[in-house]
Structure 1
Amino acid sequence: MTTGANPLRLQIAEKGVGSFSALALLRWALVVIFLWFGGMKFTAYEANGIAPFIAHSPVMGWLNGMFGVQGTSYVIGVLELATAAALIIGAFQPIFSALGAAMSAATYLITLTFFFSTPGVAEATAGGFPAISAMPGQFLLKDLVLLAASLSLLFASVQASAVDVRKW
């Protein structure tokens, strides 16, 4: 009995296409961010800081009602620390390379939705959108680069046999 070829090949991102040092730099920079930000979620300071973003989010707003402001921050902190752990293990295990990169990408996709749901992103004194405020507008927009870093790791981790990822 023969089986069809597996269309996906998982690998450690740094061992595939792209520059080893560039992908490693992206991985470890994301690890630092997730460890730092995830750890901060266990403080009242951070819980209160993210509360306005969560409260106005159609994606995450329900968390405050279920867990309260600090509880929501704890949940996000656990997820961020789990993402850091997956990224760390992913430097050695292919499945975790893909999982950590996917978790990171999901995080930044969600935070980019805050760009559209959080009041004060457009800067009225500068003529409104597309002029954006320093806080929260520019603060949120930088997550676009973190999403690109996450997707770069993900694409390098998951190689589809029918798709040449290097063309992306």
Structure 2
Amino acid sequence: MKTFINFIAVSQRHFINVARAAILIVMVWIGGLKIYQYEADGIVPFVANSPLMSFFYSKEAPEYQEYKNPEGKTVQKNIDWHTENRTYVFSYGLGAVIIVIGILTFLGIWFPRIGFWGGMLTFGMSLVTLSFLITTPEVYVPNLGGDFPTPQHGFPYLSGAGRLVLKDVIMLAVGLICASDCAQKLRDTTVYRSNRW
């Protein structure tokens, strides 16, 4: 057991690289899914209700509620509405940004300056995502009239969407760890000392 603990203790740098790889996998996968209609439709409540992002859409919340496509189902009038709303164009752009952030963070293994910005962008993206816990009504269980044993709706009862958003707390922390590791490497190099950013 002592040997195992020693191994874990001296492997932190390697585990930070595992964290970078984890960010890459999550960002490329989720960013890549943004080209698909069901994923683009799924982010509409978050974007439409966000004061930081709602300007990307042409329609205002809560109009989108009338045009929801259930996952796995396509309703043409809903797709037409989303096309007019710029749902798909925004989703493609967001997906590309997410993929780029994941790649930048991963490149921190070899290029600390790039990795620093990737980690900071991961942190910033996670802050925006976590703001949805304040701005998006769909992140909490709605009041559907149940009252036994107690009404379990609203804060703190997270819906599936809310649980998905809350996980970005982990991404936020890991982004900072990756950025910090790159900053440490930069501090110890002549690049940092010569102030060439």
TM-score (norm 2): 0.66
Deviating above 4 A after TM superposition, structure 1's stretches of 4 or more consecutive aligned residues are none
Matched residue SS, 2:123: helix
Q: In structure 1, what is the equivalent of residue 139 of structure 2?
A: 121
Partner Cα distance (2:115, 2:183) in 1: 9
Name the SS of the counterpart of 1:158 in structure 2. helix
Partner of 2:156: 130
- Percent identity, please: 30
Q: What is the RMSD of the two structures over their aligned residues, measured on CA atoms?
A: 2.2
Q: Of 89, 93, 101, which aligns to 1:75?
A: 93
Instruction: Confirm or deny that 1:150 pairs with 2:143.
Output: no
CA separation in 1, counterparts of 2:48 and 2:11? 39
SS in 2 for 1:65: coil
| Inter-partner Cα distance in structure 2 for 1:89 and 1:38 | 17
What is the total number of aligned residue pairs between the two structures?
144
Corresponding residue number in structure 1 for 2:50? 57
* Superimposed CA distance per residue, residues 16-68 of structure 1 (whole angstroms, 9 cap, x where no aligned partner): x9811221111000000111011111111211111111111111111123971
2:31 to 38, 56, 81: 38
Q: Aligned AA for 1:25?
A: V
Residue 110 in 1 paired to residue 113 in 2? no
- Counterpart amino acid of residue 126 in structure 1: Q
Instruction: Give ranges in structure 2 of 5+ residues lacking alignment.
Output: 1-9, 60-84, 144-150, 188-197
Alignment CA distance shift 1:145-1:88 (3 Å): closer
CA distance in 1, matches of 2:104, 2:125: 13
- Asked whether the 8 Å contact 2:108–2:182 carries over to 1, the reply is no
